[in-house]
Structure 1
Amino acid sequence: MRKAAVPVQVVLISDGTMSHPNSRKFPPAARQALREAELRQALLELGVETTPVCLGLPDSKVPSEGEELFSEAVAQLRELFAATKPATVLCSWRRDPHPDHRATSELVRAALAGLAPLPRLLEYVVWAWERAAPADLPQPGEVAGWRLDVSSVFNEKQRAIAAHRSQLAPGIIDDDPTGFLLSPEMLAHFAQPFEAYLEVI
């Protein structure tokens, strides 16, 4: 999008602190700061110079509708959408197996409700590539799916992924062997010259 001179705004929903919960070298505040710094570096690799908006919601406990902090987060997103007036919003697939991704979809859709004009909402899968149950996947007639050719910026995409060093082997948080790292198999899904998107019909 930056190559097409389209302005980009990024929102980081959760604080990322549960990736290595047993680390003493990187207590929660340090993990949060690290994840935010990695995101900023990734955005620079993609040519996005806008500072991301960080909601700081609890990792692994991003609220769903009816839960504490949900209404507050919706209000923050709605205020952002009203100020920036995006033509397109991208967020995780509403039934992606990760609970934070599902909750993020709920937050985004609630924040978009009632906006005029209504932005186009495109969704993408993350963990559904590997962990989706049949009911998690798009159902017949539910969505239009398409691919965006990103071959011209493939190297930038890979550098952006590599910027998330705390999540890639061997990792930089070395005192929590149970910490989260992306597997080579998972990363292979994102080493393609295209991005796949879903749009609810």
Structure 2
Amino acid sequence: MLPFSEYPARAASFAAGLGSTVVIAPHPDDEALGCGGLLALLRQAGQPTAAVLVSDGTMSHPRSALFSAPARQAVRAAEFRHALTLLGADVTEPLLLALPDGRVPGGPDEPGFTEAVARLQQFLERQQAATVLVPWRRDPHPDHRATAQLVQAALAGLPHPPRRLEYVVWAWERAAPEDLPTAADAVRGFRLDIAVGLRQKQQAIAAHRSQVAPGVFSDDAEGFLLSADMLAHFAGPYEVYFEALEL
């Protein structure tokens, strides 16, 4: 059983102390699932927010003939922008890295990694980010882990790196014991009370119509849709985060 319910709870007022915040999503919908409630709280607290979309999102329905890969990318990018609007995000145009869905580079030897790191650094500096929201480093999806590596490399190159909060998406559904934090990770887990932002979070999840039944890319019967069991993890009044321990 996952230990998330045992983590200490933090009040919604926690968001007010995060300052300018950038959410980094591996795929369109991760921003709503993993930290949609916090994004709503940030807006309520008057904190500026911006977003980065790492992958092109095309591989949820790769067999669609009605929607080409560029068309799928356009649909999912539009859903991403709509969800951000529902969460009250600022009008700042999100950074779309458009890395290959399912093959996000996770190291400097992989094509596109170094360029993506540089673009991330430039965006974070331009936004004057005080906090970044990024997938948990061992969230059990390869693109989520690669995204965490991209962000780690970007932050390492900044003279004053922002605070880093790691959110969970697939860890709710697929986490093995080795995917969860250990003492070697030197992180603290906590639950954030997002009750006052939960309605906006649910609206933002629903805005990703191509990923929620009945879907949009209807000619790919084997394509991905968020299951009812998966969605249930994100219907409660708490989100889970990890943050580095203060030494």
1:104 maps onto 2:155 in alignment: no
RMSD: 1.1
Deviation at residue 145 of structure 1 after TM alignment: 1.1
Aligned equivalent of 1:198? 242
Deviation at residue 175 of structure 1 after TM alignment: 0.1
1:50 maps onto 2:84 in alignment: no
Amino acid of the structure 2 residue aligned with 1:130: E
Question: Which region of structure 1 is more displaced relative to structure 2, 151-160 or 43-52?
Answer: 43-52
Deviation at residue 83 of structure 1 after TM alignment: 1.6
Aligned pairs for 1:62-73 within 5 A: 62-65=104-107, 66-73=109-116
Decide which of 146, 155, 173 is 1:130's aligned counterpart.
173
Amino acid of the structure 2 residue aligned with 1:51: E
Aligned residue for 1:198, secondary structure, equals strand
Q: Distance in 2 between matches of 1:52 and 1:80?
A: 9
Aligned residue for 2:58, secondary structure, equals coil
Question: Which region of structure 1 is more displaced relative to structure 2, 145-154 or 168-177?
Answer: 145-154
Amino acid of the structure 1 residue aligned with 2:74: A
Q: Distance in 1 between matches of 2:157 and 2:218?
A: 46
> Cα deviations across residues 12-51 of structure 1 (Å, max 9, x unaligned)?
0000000100001111001000000001110111111322
Aligned residue for 2:49, secondary structure, equals coil
Higher RCO (CA 8 Å, separation ≥ 6 residues): 2
| Long gaps (5+) in structure 1 | none
Aligned equivalent of 1:84? 127
Deviation at residue 185 of structure 1 after TM alignment: 0.6
> Cα deviations across residues 101-123 of structure 1 (Å, max 9, x unaligned)?
00000000100003232211000
Aligned equivalent of 2:70? 29
Q: Distance in 1 between matches of 2:134 and 2:76?
A: 18
1:163 maps onto 2:196 in alignment: no
Amino acid of the structure 2 residue aligned with 1:153: G
Q: Distance in 2 between matches of 1:169 and 1:41?
A: 18
Q: Distance in 1 between matches of 2:75 and 2:157?
A: 35
Question: Which region of structure 1 is more displaced relative to structure 2, 61-70 or 41-50?
Answer: 41-50
Amino acid of the structure 2 residue aligned with 1:57: L
Deviation at residue 194 of structure 1 after TM alignment: 1.7
Decide which of 8, 16, 19 is 2:60's aligned counterpart.
19
Aligned residue for 2:165, secondary structure, equals strand
Number of residue equivalences? 201
Aligned equivalent of 2:5? none
Aligned residue for 2:59, secondary structure, equals coil
Aligned residue for 1:9, secondary structure, equals strand
Aligned residue for 2:44, secondary structure, equals coil
> Cα deviations across residues 145-191 of structure 1 (Å, max 9, x unaligned)?
11221111211110000000000011111100000000111111111
TM-score by length of 1: 0.97
| Long gaps (5+) in structure 2 | 1-41
Aligned residue for 2:60, secondary structure, equals coil
1:121 maps onto 2:159 in alignment: no
TM-score by length of 2: 0.79
